[in-house]
Structure 1
């Protein structure tokens, strides 16, 4: 693509304005064609980043001459907004969780495949050099067949899910108001730790392992909040591997995020730990890889994914570490976890309500 990528944005809140828009605005190959949002700050956002137009009407945004759309709206709006863009043949970057249900997640994956567009969910850890190297080692077959996984995540996010959401603004350079508690603290809109944070750890697990969950037994605890702050699950994957998953929202402010993945296979074991910044793959035949990771590299950032989205569109890159398939596997797991928890921890099938059509497509692409 020789001309600049004409980008439209829907959602102009704290995360879009502190992370995505500065990245896109700094690129010579991106034209910020229009922004759609609500609230009194929209015109200031348009001026700050140089968008060609601003509107409260998503259809009006889509009527601009666009190549791509970045969607940073409340979780429950992602699916219809992404569908409208994909159906027009536009490339889409969709914030995570990309949807709240398995059906919607695989529907997006199907539509992306049929339309031949690029779809990226901005999972920052999937683009870190040390996770990319871990993926390379796994792809070379050093684990053998995966038999067991551990997937743990904890974050300093109590305020986001159960307190003053504005406190998180101090962590990001956003000139707009902070996260909306009506999104992050509402069960109906996908608030809570599973959709808000386990989305990260599970998406990294599915990208690294290429596993897919088959059934789940889960419980959640809300503390004094309206949404889940703690999550615990036992997972059975296609092929029979077992997994344990945990999530906790209550690290003290300033503590590093914990993402701890351990994958046990027939030929070796992978350990990936963002907090202590270590990756190792040790094989039973004695071969060992222990990566040298620079201090600070494990901290979360989301700089590569928006840049990669543009590079995929222009052809400068072909590597997508968080495509619609990875995103849908994460969504369907979390959907099943929350259904199991609502049923008192009973085992539920992940593919509840997901037709053979989506599953068939998925197997073709795996």
Structure 2
């Protein structure tokens, strides 16, 4: 497209104001048309970032002249709000998890295809230079056929899921209030470590590998909280590969995030470790690809995804490392994990065989 991207945003809380809005406001090719939210800080947000209008009515926002929408509301609202935007022909950036159940995730995928819009879920690690380099090696066939995966994530998020959510404001420069406990600490709204954090590691795994989960056996533990703080699962993938997945919310504050992904194939092994900032792919024929990871590059940040969203719309880029397919595969895995845990660890089918991927 030519001209500035006319952007709307639904959700004006902690994460939108600390990450997305400053990025969009700094771009000359973006016009911030309107913002929809609740609470007394909405007008302050409008003024701070230069939105043309502010409203508490999402329908009013959708009636504005828009090209794209950012959906950064509580998890359980993502699906209807994203669908309403897509059906208007708007490109959408939808916060993760993009939905809370598999059917809604694949419904988004179907609607994105139907309307031909760009869809991006802002998974920061999917855009790191070392993960992009690893993806290129996998695409080149250096792993061979994938047989086994390990996908682990742990983070300093006990307060987010089981304490004072405002403590996290110090880590992200937001002038608004901190994360809402009703979002992060309520099972009904998708609170808990699986939806809140395993969404990151699983989306990275699915983008790197191209795998799709077929069945899951899982356990979760709350550690006394209202939502899950710990996750463990055994996964079987459509290809017959198997995997182990784990998550933990109780890394001490100030310690680095742990994202550890290891993929074992018939031709070699890929290892990514954000905590120790190392990445390599070693083949059984002796060929070794030791990838460069700059100091600090393993830490989480989400600068590239919002920028890439705009670049996709303008045509400046064609690479989407966290499209609706990746997002839906993550959602359906977590959905099945939590269903399995609720059934005492029983094996759960992840998707219906007749369901389009």
Tell me the TM-score range normalised by the shorter chain: over 0.9
Deviation at 1:110, TM superposition (A): 0.6
Instruction: Write out per-residue CA displacement over residues 87-138 of structure 1, whole angstroms, 9 at most, x where no aligned residue.
Output: 0000000000000000000000010011000000000000000000000000
Deviation at 1:174, TM superposition (A): 0.2
Partner of 1:133: 133
Partner of 2:310: 310
Partner of 2:258: 258
Work out the CA distance in 2 between the residues paired with 1:83 and 1:348. Answer: 27
- Secondary structure of the equivalent of 1:64? coil
Deviation at 1:171, TM superposition (A): 0.4
- Secondary structure of the equivalent of 1:322? coil
Instruction: Write out per-residue CA displacement over residues 46-97 of structure 1, whole angstroms, 9 at most, x where no aligned residue.
Output: 0000000000000000000000000000000000000000000000000000
Partner of 2:319: 319
Partner of 1:154: 154
Deviation at 1:2, TM superposition (A): 1.7
| Count of matched residue positions in the alignment of Structure 1 and Structure 2 | 357
2:203 aligned with 1:173: no
Name segments (4+ residues, structure 1) moved above 3 Å: none
Deviation at 1:207, TM superposition (A): 0.1
- When the two structures are superposed, what TM-score results if normalisation uses the length of structure 1? 0.97
Deviation at 1:291, TM superposition (A): 1.1
Work out the CA distance in 1 between the residues paired with 2:312 and 2:86. Answer: 16
Deviation at 1:239, TM superposition (A): 1.3
- Secondary structure of the equivalent of 1:239? coil
2:215 aligned with 1:215: yes
Partner of 1:40: 40
Partner of 1:116: 116
Partner of 2:96: 96
Work out the CA distance in 1 between the residues paired with 2:263 and 2:353. Answer: 29
Work out the CA distance in 2 between the residues paired with 1:340 and 1:299. Answer: 31
Partner of 2:79: 79
Deviation at 1:355, TM superposition (A): 6.9
- Equivalences for 1:1-366 in 2 at 5 Å? 1-351=1-351, 354=352, 356=354, 358-359=355-356, 362=357
- Secondary structure of the equivalent of 1:245? strand
Over aligned residues, Cα RMSD in angstroms?
A: 0.6
Work out the CA distance in 1 between the residues paired with 2:239 and 2:46. Answer: 50
Deviation at 1:150, TM superposition (A): 0.1
Work out the CA distance in 1 between the residues paired with 2:292 and 2:212. Answer: 30
- Secondary structure of the equivalent of 1:306? helix
- Secondary structure of the equivalent of 1:233? strand
Deviation at 1:294, TM superposition (A): 1.1
- Secondary structure of the equivalent of 1:65? coil
Work out the CA distance in 1 between the residues paired with 2:18 and 2:239. Answer: 41
Work out the CA distance in 1 between the residues paired with 2:239 and 2:49. Answer: 48
Deviation at 1:292, TM superposition (A): 1.9
- Secondary structure of the equivalent of 1:32? strand
Work out the CA distance in 1 between the residues paired with 2:65 and 2:228. Answer: 41
Work out the CA distance in 2 between the residues paired with 1:297 and 1:99. Answer: 28
Work out the CA distance in 1 between the residues paired with 2:128 and 2:346. Answer: 36
Deviation at 1:280, TM superposition (A): 0.7
Structure 2 portions without partners, runs of 5+: none
Structure 1 portions without partners, runs of 5+: none
